A and B are shown apart, each in its own frame.
Chain A
Amino acid sequence: MIRVSVDPAPIELGMEVAALEERGAGGVATFTGVVRTDDGVEALDLEHYPGMTEAALCALAEAAIDRWNLLGVTIVHRVGRMTAGERIVFVGTAAAHRREALEACAYLIDRLKTDAPFWKREWLAGGTRWVEPRASDEEAANHWA
């Protein structure tokens, strides 16, 4: 019931959602993160810590299953180079009722931001820059403590 993937290939949204629907739950909630097209970002490099990344995402999925009554959890994170508008991350949950699916989905994306070893570098017209963490991401993750 847990699917975790860290892959340079594009994220196939339809396939991921369909697999969650097949869990037989009454509700599926999903979050998709895409490379933003504002402030002149042309592309993004996503670096990660092979081995630790997969373990951290599995631990997050297991924590969500301990907390909510879920029938399926999917976390797919893309790595490597991607261009503006492409999908970076997909989080999906399947549960008997919407409240559990929606809450668990929000929990997973909030915690993923602070608990998994990924680093973003943005490509702009004038060069590249490493993305700085936002205080609001830390607050969102702590909200679930």
Chain B
Amino acid sequence: MAISILYFAWVREAVGTGEEKVDPPEAVRNVADLIDWLAQQSAGHAAAFADPAKLRAAIDQRFVPLDALLGRAREVAIFPPVTGG
């Protein structure tokens, strides 16, 4: 099932796009799996996802831990820790 992936801040810059549609294999069950799989897609992805400890995520616009199951997610966002305010 195709998922929209959104990237923000330096993750977006490293990947080279703010949004893409992907169709990961069934073995990709949670956000951490997705990050490992995305890292194989290009040199930019590999650079962005080299250190998952620096990444945060949201599924369908709600913050989730990286071990959160994708389930029927339509939109997954991957980004650095937030720095607003």
Residues in chain A within 8 A of chain B (CB atoms): 33, 46-49, 51-52, 55, 77, 88-89, 109, 112-121, 130-133, 137
Contact = CB atoms under 8 A, between A and B. Distances in A.
Given A49-B8, A130-B10, A89 B61 contact: no
Given A47-B8, A117-B79, A132-B83, 19 more contacts: A46-B84, A49-B77, A51-B61, A55-B61, A77-B84, A89-B84, A112-B85, A113-B83, A113-B84, A113-B85, A115-B63, A116-B85, A117-B58, A117-B77, A117-B82, A117-B84, A120-B83, A133-B82, A137-B85
B85 A118 contact: yes
A14 B7 CA distance: 36
A112 B85 CA distance: 6
A109 B85 CA distance: 7
A121 B9 contact: yes
A60 B6 CA distance: 23
Nearest to B13: A130
Interface in B48-85: 58, 61-63, 77, 79-85
B83 A89 contact: no
Contacts of B61: 49, 51-52, 55
Contacts of A77: 84-85
Interface of B: 6, 8-10, 58, 61-63, 77, 79-85
Chain A CB within 10 Å — which of B8, B61, B82 has the most?
Answer: B82
A33 B10 CA distance: 23
Contacts of B9: 47, 119, 121, 130
A112 B12 CA distance: 22
Contacts of A132: 81, 83
Contacts of B63: 115, 117
A116 B82 contact: yes
A119 B84 contact: yes
Contacts of A118: 82-85
